Amino acid sequence: MSDIIQLLPDHVANQIAAGEVVQRPASVVKELLENSIDAGANTIKLIIKDAGKTLIQVIDNGKGMTVTDARLSFERHATSKIRSAEDLFSINTKGFRGEALASISAIAHVELKTKQDGDELGTLIKIEGSTVKHQDVTVTPKGTSLSVKNLFFNIPARRNFLKSNNVELRHIIDEFHRVALAHPNIAFVMYHNGSESFNLPTSNYRQRVVNIFGGKTNEKLVPVEEETEVLKISGFVGKPEFAKRTKNEQFFFVNDRFIKSAYLNHAINSAYEGLIKDGSYPSYFLNLTVDPKTIDINIHPTKTEIKFDDEHTLYAILRSAVKHSLGQFNIAPVLDFDRDNNLDTPYDYKNKGVSSPSVEVDRSFNPFQEETRTSKSTHIVASYKKEPAAQWESLYVGLESKGTKTERHFSEVEFESESENTSLFSEDKLVETTQTTYQLLNKYIISTIKSGMMILDQHRAHQRILYEGFLKHLTIKEAVSQQLLFPLTLEFSLSEMELLLQLKEDLEHTGFVFSAFKDNTISITGVPVNVPESEVSIILEQLISDVEQEVTDSNFSATDLLAKSMSKSLAIKTGQSLTKIEQEHLVNSLFACKEPSVSPTNRVTFITMSVDDFDKKFM
């Protein structure tokens, strides 16, 4: 029987390895940016075309490579980061597997230009599908320029699995933010389709956060500093009043490497316990410095997950450090009209010493002297009552002369008959007896039907009603808007602004009126009918969160996503009390919908219980 196991060719092995390293264009961006950082560059440019599907180019001014290193860098397991197995436990660089360039060159057209300082000419290498097509000397500045064109050109199935350009661009921006935040000492510039998206100069960490997420972020930040033998923490957390409905401003960096950790994230949330509302998420930008020997960063292909030796200690230190910073720096003036100003300490008494209170005693007081005390009190009461009696008597002067006129006046007044009052009372009684809806626990509405009883979830039912209403407005593009007395100005990050620009037309069809889109701010002069002004920011944040979760690519249009997101934000919440008229209107509106039985997220809106079901319970 012939052998069936054989070694795979190198180009096939590289394509398989590319499945781990390169999942989407953002993966290429991450690998190339990290290589530039390891090369010692202090200025890095990222150029993107068509969300990375056509071109991804990274240009740096690092130390460059020799001719031999440039050719060897595209071989598998060729790296300058480690020399022995022991180096895996003390890694301070970014990439170290030596598979990044080999995997990228296996599935794309790659062009490398590199030159070291002091060399007159650099090296040019062109590779297509792991095959070197061209190698020559070239004129190029110091550093390295690596272009990745036509990603997944030889794996069309993988290319078809890529999302839309908007989604892929968001992933690229996320990776760009993570790398830029971890290295504020490096200048980063990003271009997309010829226009500059980000220009981040060298700065301190606070300025880097503000440059990425907008100028008003500065007032939201609370510094966190803590240093122990096990862990050093530095960075910022957001004030509780600025908590967002999205998680796009949560960043952990361990030894300048971005990580995801649900365990450490729980430590942050527990520090904010009682300070933020449910459904809101705090912002944090925290750098954790630990001994490289106490962590294992080789447990995940993308290196975004790390295993710590002692997670419990890190949890306790991180939680206490954040709580301490929130208590120390989160000081805001409180406007409380119910507070008694007399309880405030005057500024003049700030540095004044405390004196002991003195007690005065009437040593001549004798409680057994009843006669004297009674006579005094009787005299006081008598003198008190004498004068008011004369005043009361003056009020009745001339009352007899006015009596006849008063009687004559009231005799001309016609009173309503008692029969009408009786009829009105009976109608009220009739309304109470014909009540058909009841609210249970401010969550469910119970309504009687011919066969028994119907129990309706008020939140899901209202979602369905609003969803079909918004969908109708978006389809016919005729929505009613209510104008605001003063324009509402909201601030978002650059990536969030791009999302809102893409959804601007659909938002206008629902009733929003925008007056300006400038830098990081938008001005709103009109909102849909029945939408409170205070809910506008919540609606837009929820919409951004839904779009970032890639709901738009689940065979649903942006119009459907917008209608779902707005209905979820504006629907009646659990715990809200409804009047009898509101309950009946909700029930009637639900059954006027096309699909009353399910919510926009395909969850049941109501259940029914027949009389037979009740009878079975009593058997």
| Domain boundaries defined on the chain | 10-200, 212-329, 444-608
Distance of CA 171 to the CA centre of its chain: 17
Q: Can you give the pLDDT at residue 309?
A: 80
Q: Can you give the pLDDT at residue 378?
A: 46
Q: What is the rounded average pLDDT of the residues 427-450?
A: 69
Q: Can you give the pLDDT at residue 410?
A: 52
CB 274 within 8 A of CB 314: no
369-405 tens-digit pLDDT:
765 444 444 444 444 444 555 555 665 666 555 445 5
Q: Can you give the pLDDT at residue 441?
A: 87
pTM of the model: 0.68
The class of domain 10-200 in CATH terms is: alpha beta
Q: In the predicted model, is pLDDT for residue 435 greater than 80?
A: no
74-105 tens-digit pLDDT:
887 666 655 555 555 556 666 555 578 888 88
Distance of CA 66 to the CA centre of its chain: 46
Q: What is the rounded average pLDDT of the residues 481-488?
A: 85
Tell me which residue of 176, 193, 196 sits closest to 32, measured CA to CA: 176
Helices (H), 117-197: 156-160, 165-182
Q: In the predicted model, is pLDDT for residue 430 greater than 60?
A: no
Q: Which residue has the higher pLDDT, 424 or 227?
A: 227
Q: Can you give the pLDDT at residue 375?
A: 45
Structural tokens at position 178:
């993570």
Of the listed ranges 15-24, 111-120, 518-527, 564-573, the least confidently predicted one is 15-24
Mean pLDDT of the chain: 79
Instruction: Please state which architecture CATH assigns to domain 212-329.
Output: 2-Layer Sandwich (3.30)
Q: Can you give the pLDDT at residue 172?
A: 92
- Identify residue 614 by its one-letter amino acid code: F
Q: What is the rounded average pLDDT of the residues 529-546?
A: 80
Q: Which residue has the higher pLDDT, 534 or 433?
A: 534
Q: Can you give the pLDDT at residue 345?
A: 61
Q: Give the phi and the psi of residue 141 in degrees, each rounded to 5.
A: -70, 170
Q: In the predicted model, is pLDDT for residue 278 greater than 60?
A: yes
Q: How many C-beta atoms lie closer than 10 Å to residue 167's C-beta?
A: 16
Q: Give me the long-range contacts of 121-128 (CB less than 8 A, separation at least 24).
A: 122/64, 123/65, 123/66, 123/67, 123/70, 125/70, 125/71, 125/74, 127/74
Q: What is the rounded average pLDDT of the residues 504-508?
A: 82
As a whole-number percent, the residues of the chain with pLDDT over 90 amount to 23
CA distances for 153 relative to 13, 149, 164, 448, angstroms? 17, 9, 17, 63
Of the listed ranges 221-230, 233-242, 452-461, 555-564, the least confidently predicted one is 555-564
Q: Helix or strand or coil: residue 388?
A: helix
**pLDDT band per the 50, 70, 90 thresholds, residue 167:** confident
Q: Can you give the pLDDT at residue 507?
A: 82
Q: What is the rounded average pLDDT of the residues 293-305?
A: 69
Q: What is the rounded average pLDDT of the residues 185-199?
A: 91
CA distances for 506 relative to 47, 468, 562, angstroms? 30, 15, 8
Structural tokens at position 298:
């080789």
Crossing angle between the packed helical segments 165-182 and 25-38, to the nearest 10 degrees: 20
Q: Give the phi and the psi of residue 396 in degrees, each rounded to 5.
A: -95, 0
Of the listed ranges 28-32, 331-335, 361-365, the least confidently predicted one is 331-335
As a whole-number percent, the residues of the chain with pLDDT over 70 amount to 77
Q: Can you give the pLDDT at residue 428?
A: 41
The class of domain 444-608 in CATH terms is: alpha beta
Crossing angle between the packed helical segments 536-548 and 558-570, to the nearest 10 degrees: 140
Q: Can you give the pLDDT at residue 432?
A: 42
**pLDDT band per the 50, 70, 90 thresholds, residue 348:** low
**H or E segment and range at residue 391:** helix 370-395
Q: Which of 55-64, 74-83, 566-575 has the highest mean pLDDT?
A: 55-64
Measured CA to CA, the distance from residue 30 to residue 56 in angstroms comes to 11
CB 559 within 8 A of CB 450: no
